[in-house]
Structure 1
């Protein structure tokens, strides 16, 4: 078994960018890419008669799609192609991540989203509320980003809720694996209650954000340097739009406090950010092994 870290990429015939994003991450980190296509488990349900000829055709066609799509990854990305059966696409990807000991699952945005933005479909929604490994969501247009761009910066959304230590740990690990600069970001807040003095709230929020960032910088391991930034706005969406984003950037966020231990749960703040982010988002479980 390869000692390299592993990434599971969920592939569909109308791939929305998961393979392209996973390829960039694998190339930048030296990870082995496990490309997985999940077929309905009904095809193997003994209680429902199936057409064996059709099942064979579907499997062969899926292998053809996988082989053709993986050629775009070039020769620099080590990968393996797999077909799995499950009740749902998300369930199949989680099972594959466990099977391969993968550190990340990558899926694409739903069809119909704005270019450069993420629209959560049913697969991503299920993963972002139940997976026990980090999940990356590739925004629309991910296939247009050059594979050799790799990862140019990692931005970590720092907060004070439980799980912040796991998020920082995951960010440092990814920064080390990819040789990428780390940016710590605090959104100084945002979604102000009606009637609240906005000037006073902005001052208080900015001071608190700086405190949070200072604490995060002190928690960084020796040898890891990070820039720090704050962003403010009348809403989460405004704050995200006001920030600068690089084409090869990745954003890491933690799970909501509602998440079960070692599982994901996309919180409301992260969901609002996701609608405006022009770069991929990786959601990290509340705690990590």
Structure 2
């Protein structure tokens, strides 16, 4: 990757999970880590007299939290840069920071209250997943307990047939190369078909279709890139995700919904269902991405 990764940091467990995941990816890909805290924009309160003393305190406290977070990682193999930014919303500030630094990824933590190892979408992640033009990684609850030295053990791409599959495949290949991780292609084609169809016929046609999708994806791979391929099986997306094997250091890439505006994200129903069951971090990729 050798690029830059923006971590949206907050001084709580969710922020620690995001920082741990961002550090692990940066370490594996030799990327620079930009740790960003976003404070409310002064412009938002333009009609209210500004309390400069409070602003100085808030900024100073934010820098102190950033410094403590950086020191807690104690990883000399990752180049880190700490930033405080102002914006109307946390998501807006992170997107602006990603543009400012030319980052290829934004990392945020799951909302509090989620199950250990699972991601629960909070307001910040929700806004990012419906507006960002930069890929977004969601750090599951407890990601801070995964050793950053573990690196990325595998990159899995959830391949489908909708527009944007080519961008997803390209992003997956780049990430696998950058992190020196094996690539796995997973087809979710035969799942969530309309109710009432003959189960045997659905299973047969679904398996054939899945094989075709995986074969087509393999043909699009660069000549020097190899990948394993598997068709997910199950009556539902959730069941299929539970039936697949997952590595502790794995990353899953999915494409944004067909409803997304070009070059922007929109979390589709399939990805949302996967997210509820995935025990590993998910990265959502815009339909077209640089």
TM-score of the two chains, using structure 2 as the length reference: 0.96
- 1:42 is displaced (CA, Å) by 3.7
- 1:43 is displaced (CA, Å) by 7.4
Is the 8 Å Cα contact of residues 43 and 50 (structure 1) preserved in structure 2? no
Aligned to 1:57: 57
**Cα distance in 2 for residues equivalent to 1:81 and 1:95:** 15
**Cα distance in 1 for residues equivalent to 2:59 and 2:244:** 45
Aligned to 1:26: 26
- 1:29-178 correspondence to structure 2 within 5 Å: 29-42=29-42, 45-73=45-73, 74-178=75-179
Q: Is 2:221 the partner of 1:223? A: no
Question: Could you list the per-position Cα deviations for residues 82-104 of structure 1 after superposition, in whole angstroms to 9, with x for gaps in the alignment?
Answer: 00000100000000000000000
Is the 8 Å Cα contact of residues 42 and 48 (structure 1) preserved in structure 2? no
- 1:46 is displaced (CA, Å) by 3.6
Aligned to 2:11: 13
Secondary structure (helix, strand or coil) at the match of 1:102 reads coil
Structure 1 gap ranges (5+): none
**Cα distance in 1 for residues equivalent to 2:173 and 2:156:** 11
Question: Could you list the per-position Cα deviations for residues 51-103 of structure 1 after superposition, in whole angstroms to 9, with x for gaps in the alignment?
Answer: 11111111111100000011133211101000000010000000000000000
Question: Could you list the per-position Cα deviations for residues 226-285 of structure 1 after superposition, in whole angstroms to 9, with x for gaps in the alignment?
Answer: 000111111100000000000000000001110111111110000000000000000000
Structure 2 gap ranges (5+): none
Is the 8 Å Cα contact of residues 192 and 198 (structure 1) preserved in structure 2? no
Secondary structure (helix, strand or coil) at the match of 1:261 reads coil
Is the 8 Å Cα contact of residues 39 and 84 (structure 1) preserved in structure 2? yes
Question: Could you list the per-position Cα deviations for residues 6-62 of structure 1 after superposition, in whole angstroms to 9, with x for gaps in the alignment?
Answer: 000000011411000000000000000000000011477443212111111111111
Q: How many residues align?
A: 287
**Cα distance in 2 for residues equivalent to 1:43 and 1:57:** 18
Secondary structure (helix, strand or coil) at the match of 2:108 reads strand
